[in-house]
Structure 1
């Protein structure tokens, strides 16, 4: 046993030395017993030849044990070395696969056959705005608003709508394939996610720009054709109203004609304001004084009309410098505030916020009105999409044009019965690209500004 332990724990030569030492000690004991120097418990007294045979057999046995133990120990060490190398290679391969999975720009999700998530890479965590811990063991189906593609069917990919925890709407292209393991067959599914949100948003932007351009040209043509006879009608009605022998009924009818003529003239004015190329005078301005001018004017008007609406200010900064046309910005602010006031017919709160972002200032106008449907949110910046009685539907379309000329972004968040929030983002003055003063809107090429109307 000592020889075997020595061969396993130490190099082979130490096994032989241990065997030799054991043989020498054994021989000494035999010699001492043979010459009766130490007492022997054996009942027989072997002869010299028998003693020599015993010594020779034990010598062979010790040597054989040392040899075999050393051989087995060497093979065991070689097996351990190969196992360590194989384990290292496996760990390297596993790390490589893990790095590939985590480094890919596409989202990757694996599930078991029951549809529960077993792995989520970093890109998928970012796309879904959730951590792997939050997603593991969840069923993948409820994450999306549309049915997922099915393996083995004609539909192995499709566009899926997704609502992030912050209620931002996204669109993904989802592809599915089987997860096969050699010898076990299919053990689950692999889903890859491509973010199409920006692409679909840009497509909507292009379609919207085309519609806006066509509507603008049509509006200008109609406005010019209608305004001339309308002016004649309004002038004639005013002259008739000055006649002394008119009855009260006729006078009331003429007042209706005059009032409706003025309303039509206002609509035509909006048409022309929308369709004409606007001139901008850009300068380094502070948004807060411009916003305060608008809010103070609005507060006085609401107090006079007893609307029951209060304004709450939430400014995270005392100075907000941007490169902008101050008068046009006031027009944008007024449109947002006017929409909020008209939405809160029974009173409420208009919350105006200013928040600093990394490269932009964000202004939010949140009301407590009835909100808007998803369809209305999608089309809110298109012309003729007014949700108020008597509105032309051009106010926010003009806002869209102005913000685009400022290379800004504008979008809306709303749900039915949960109010509406218009969000405006403008680049800080230090970040803004120098824009030539009096730049025409048709030459002011900016970023797409409808960041994605989302609920």
Structure 2
């Protein structure tokens, strides 16, 4: 906290210094005008001037010198000279001495120039509201009394001059005391206002940081639906570009088409909750909530965009906890009779008296026994899933290692397995649990090889590591050369127990997406307008903590 306090104090002193300089510039303009007027008066009535003034020559020289001095200071300030406190103090002291010199050379304390000394004392106490301001009043009083006393003693002047000088001295002190009090109050008020402004600025900065770091996307829209303000989460969720709007006044951006449709639906029926949407095929499922900021309907609209995958993940955790308790109870009840059925079928296969019809029935029993056992295994895997233990991973290197390890498990399979590996340059690191994402890739690779073989007769897939458009996140694509996925199957593809393979359990892709969500990654089916299917895993920014 000490550095911040020191910085605040230095900033306050710097601001006070700038204000003092500005006030001194104004004061210098005033005395430049006064010095011009004093010189101009010398040419109005030079005859009476010569007869009435005590030392006309010295008065002329003093007025002209005062004009030259003020002109020089004005030019210096115009050239960029920044006077400090000592310069201002010296200038004011010279003003007091020069003015009293002019009084001495003119008609004395009765001259109207004496009134200008009050302005100098006032200016001094505004510019320096401390003991130096009092010293200005003391010096002016001493000079006025000295001139009056000299006139009375040497020139037989009236004694009223001393009384007048004393009255001026009282006026000098009164001016100093009043202006010092006012100046101190103004300085205190200014310091209080500056402190409050700093507090407001700090709160605004804190609020800005909180809004920018929120996981919920926040948007402010105008009447036409253009984005005026967006936090980083909204940019990432809607456009895949976190932190793109870092300028104070970003240019308006258009809403993604799915969100714009929800906005129009909300404007027609504000009380109705809008449907979830996906801005792009690779984006997570989002939910938008709308509210208006102004009293005038729909002038400014506040939008909250939530990632439903987080809510879904929490719901899945609760569901899996219940599923774990359920499977723990039924696994024993199902596996025991299932094992007995499978064992009995194996014994019957050893019988020499089986005909082809019986053998076909036994094959059906064995195949479906394995399928039921696979379903139980997958459900147990879901219920026993451990929390992600993420590491910061170099995606390109890790994917190459995965390819080598996976090919070793395919050595005895015919036809031989081929995996084409592509890696784009400059891929950022990703944070995920290696074992869980490896399980996802194994599942996707097995599916891709199987469907590629069905379509082309070759077990070939393509693994491609790339980078998102914002250069912030890495992704891995698994491309097969199979028949592809029909439009009817796309919506249900990641639902549990949904499968187009008669021998499948329908839990592989569901489990794969669950594992990706646990690592804050997103698994999606990408339409690349090429034969086959392409699944893409888009990872979270590496700085995000899982």
What TM-score comes out, normalization by structure 2 length?
A: 0.46
* Correspondence for 2:209: 103
CA contact (8 A) 1:110 1:190 kept: yes
- Say yes or no: does 1:112 pair with 2:219: no
The one of 461, 468, 472 equivalent to 1:350 is 461
Aligned pairs for 1:262-341 within 5 A: 262-271=366-375, 273-274=377-378, 292-298=404-410, 301-303=413-415, 310-314=418-422, 334-341=442-449
Aligned pairs for 1:124-143 within 5 A: 124-128=234-238, 129-130=240-241, 131-132=244-245, 136-140=251-255, 142=257
RMSD after superposition: 5.6
Q: CA deviation at 1:387?
A: 2.7
* Correspondence for 1:60: none
* Correspondence for 2:316: 204
Query: In the comparison of the two structures, how many residue pairs are matched?
Result: 339
* Correspondence for 1:22: 40
Q: CA deviation at 1:191?
A: 1.0
Q: Residue 501 of structure 2: SS of its match in structure 1?
A: coil
1:266-323 CA distance string (max 9 Å, x none): 224424544668999xxxxx9977753532443652426xxxx731135799xxxx99
1:393-448 CA distance string (max 9 Å, x none): 355678799x79xx8688632146762337599xxxxxxxxxxxxxxxxxxxxx9x
- Say yes or no: does 1:420 pair with 2:526: no
Q: CA 1:215 to 1:424, structure 2 compared with 1: closer, same or farther past 3 Å?
A: farther
Q: CA 1:294 to 1:174, structure 2 compared with 1: closer, same or farther past 3 Å?
A: same
Aligned pairs for 1:162-241 within 5 A: 162-163=278-279, 167-179=282-294, 188-193=299-304, 195-197=306-308, 198-208=310-320, 210-211=322-323, 214=326, 217-218=329-330, 220-236=332-348, 238-241=350-353
* Correspondence for 1:386: 499
Structure 2 unaligned residues grouped into runs of 5+: 1-24, 50-111, 124-185, 386-397, 468-473, 540-544
* Correspondence for 2:259: 144
1:320-346 CA distance string (max 9 Å, x none): xx9998xx9998765433211223232
* Correspondence for 1:34: none
Q: Residue 18 of structure 1: SS of its match in structure 2?
A: helix
- Say yes or no: does 1:255 pair with 2:359: yes
Q: CA 1:234 to 1:146, structure 2 compared with 1: closer, same or farther past 3 Å?
A: farther
CA contact (8 A) 1:291 1:330 kept: no
Q: CA 1:303 to 1:171, structure 2 compared with 1: closer, same or farther past 3 Å?
A: same
CA contact (8 A) 1:174 1:194 kept: yes
Aligned pairs for 1:366-405 within 5 A: 366-369=479-482, 370-371=484-485, 373-379=489-495, 382=496, 384-393=497-506
**Whose strand proportion is higher, 1 or 2?**
1
Work out the CA distance in 2 between the residues paired with 1:275 and 1:390.
17
Aligned pairs for 1:37-52 within 5 A: none
Q: CA deviation at 1:171?
A: 2.3
Structure 1 unaligned residues grouped into runs of 5+: 1-6, 32-62, 75-81, 243-250, 281-285, 426-446
Work out the CA distance in 1 between the residues paired with 2:331 and 2:304.
43
Work out the CA distance in 2 between the residues paired with 1:233 and 1:187.
70
Work out the CA distance in 1 between the residues paired with 2:421 and 2:534.
16
Work out the CA distance in 2 between the residues paired with 1:236 and 1:229.
11
Work out the CA distance in 1 between the residues paired with 2:538 and 2:256.
35
CA contact (8 A) 1:350 1:365 kept: yes
1:169-208 CA distance string (max 9 Å, x none): 142452322336xxxx678213142534322332234335
Q: Which has the higher contact order (CA 8 A, sep 6+)?
A: 1
